[in-house]
Amino acid sequence: MSRGVSIILTLVIIIAILSFGILYYRNFYRPPTSEEILPRFRSIEEVRNYISTHAQLGFFYGIAEYGRAAPLAATMMEKAGAGEETPEYSLTNVQVEGIDEADYVKTDGRYMYLTKDNVLYIVDAYPPDELNVVNEIELANGTISGLYVYEAKVVIITHTVYYEVLPLRMVIGEEGTKPMIKARKPVSSILVYDVTDPFNPVLVKNVSFVGEIRDTRLMNGVLYSVVYEYAVKYPENNVTLPEYYIDGVRYEVDPNKIYYSPDAKDYGFQYIIIFTLNLDNFYSSIFTMLTGFTNVFYMSYYNIYLTQTVWRPTPFLEETSLNKVVTKIYKFKIQVLLNGGVEIAPYAVGEVLGYINNRLQLDEYKGFLRVSTYNWIVITTNPFVSKSYTSIFILDEDMEIVGSLTGLGESEHLYAT
């Protein structure tokens, strides 16, 4: 057999093997769907049953962690454009370059937008020696918790907590019983103003939630908002569906569009809403999940991560007891649609040993997620000793641990990495 014929036969065999592999992949391999990663409910009855069977020590009620601070004022400088008359101006410090975060002060290079309580001040800041307030927007309800500037629009994030006297009573010494005052309904809003004419700003979009907007990001003209809504309303103990309003029109999320974690156990449950709003055409989308209390949100260019702390203590009477705090990490894919909308879909779920304090302990690099955690060991022999330590984990695209370092920084407290 000539050499040329051998080469041809080899190429034919290689092509046949590759063709078989491609056909096999197309016909037999199927990546997991969103519902296989996290299932969805089919009715409100399933939601009620899930909460009643997964809640530990009954339902948990309490005042949410309101009023989180917006990021610190910016220190990074960036040129607004070319030309001698274009000033340099300050931007907000962000965790991921290109993904903006809310702040109390923003600027577009000419005007500054400052917030105080429930008032937005529009300041003509250039030239600096002629600085003056050109307009004020005073909100009737709520406190401003952050804002964004995008082209000729200002986005204001507001938060309000309504208090009322509940029928629940408590004994206070010899004075008998007194009514208990408790927060019942937090309301958060996204207000978009057109400031093409800063002397006459116009409200062009109003989105409100019966819950707390915990985190926001702005990327490529799309605002991402993470909203927490209670799943159980007190004192009626009613399990309700999440609701929101767009320009005064009420919407309720259908149960079959609510995802959940099958093995979640917690002292209470809440809806997590990831709401996206395109600031160019106002196309919006919503993703909803029922889970226990999550505590950290991190966003990269292509993914969103939410963490949930799971406490799994070992018997205290053991001589050496590792406090098994496990952090569950939910990963969601960001897909931008042709109409400018965004689709958020569950992609994977992972777990790491330890507790995550804040988003600065999460970082994505070339498809890998780098995570640092904090944990501690209790030695119950005499004398009693408690030692803390730090761990670092590397998770791949499918949230599987591919590398780790444990036992670092003994007796130190980790706050950020």
Q: 26 in a domain, yes or no?
A: no
Range of the domain at 177: 32-292
> How far apart are alpha carbons 74 and 90 in whole angstroms?
6
Q: 5 in a domain, yes or no?
A: no
> How far apart are alpha carbons 72 and 86 in whole angstroms?
25
Do residues 145 and 58 both lie within one domain? yes
> How far apart are alpha carbons 107 and 342 in whole angstroms?
27
Q: 11 in a domain, yes or no?
A: no
In the numeric block, which tokens belong to residue 67? 């009023």
Average pLDDT over residues 253-270: 85
> How far apart are alpha carbons 117 and 142 in whole angstroms?
8
Q: 22 in a domain, yes or no?
A: no
Q: Percentages helix, strand, coil for the chain, rounded to the nearest 5? A: 15, 50, 35
Could you tell me which residues are beta bridge partners of residue 4?
A: none
Are the C-beta atoms of residues 288 and 273 closer than 8 Å to each other?
yes
Query: How many C-beta atoms surround the C-beta of residue 82 within 10 A?
Result: 6
Instruction: Please give the sequence-ordered ranges of beta strands (E in DSSP) within 337-384, or none if there are none.
Output: 342-353, 362-365, 368-379
Q: 8 in a domain, yes or no?
A: no
Backbone CA torsion sign across 11, 17, 21, 24? positive
Per-residue pLDDT tens digits for 14-67? 666 655 554 444 443 344 555 578 999 999 999 998 888 877 653 333 333 333
Do residues 53 and 72 both lie within one domain? yes
Least confident of 94-98, 111-115, 244-248, 267-271: 267-271
> How far apart are alpha carbons 335 and 321 in whole angstroms?
44
State the total domains in the chain: 2
Do residues 288 and 322 both lie within one domain? no
> How far apart are alpha carbons 273 and 270 in whole angstroms?
10
Average pLDDT over residues 110-114: 92
Do residues 259 and 281 both lie within one domain? yes
Higher pLDDT, 17 or 351: 351
Higher pLDDT, 205 or 184: 205
Q: Is residue 326 predicted with pLDDT exceeding 60?
A: yes
Per-residue pLDDT tens digits for 209-236? 999 999 999 999 999 999 999 888 766 6
In the numeric block, which tokens belong to residue 261? 């974690």
Do residues 37 and 167 both lie within one domain? yes
> How far apart are alpha carbons 368 and 360 in whole angstroms?
15
Least confident of 169-183, 317-331, 346-360: 169-183
Do residues 131 and 59 both lie within one domain? yes
Q: What is the pLDDT of residue 280?
A: 96
Do residues 125 and 211 both lie within one domain? yes
Torsions phi, psi for 255 (to 5 deg): -55, -35
Per DSSP, 175 falls in state: G
Do residues 256 and 334 both lie within one domain? no
Q: 2 in a domain, yes or no?
A: no
Domain boundary among 272, 292, 312: 292
Domain boundary among 264, 292, 320: 292
Q: What is the pLDDT of residue 72?
A: 31
Residue 46: helix, strand or coil by DSSP?
helix
Q: 16 in a domain, yes or no?
A: no
Q: What is the pLDDT of residue 322?
A: 54
Do residues 218 and 310 both lie within one domain? no
Strand order in the sheet with 249-252: 143-150, 153-171, 177-194, 202-209, 243-246, 249-252
Q: 340 in a domain, yes or no?
A: yes
Instruction: Please give the sequence-ordered ranges of beta strands (E in DSSP) within 125-176, or none if there are none.
Output: 132-138, 143-150, 153-171
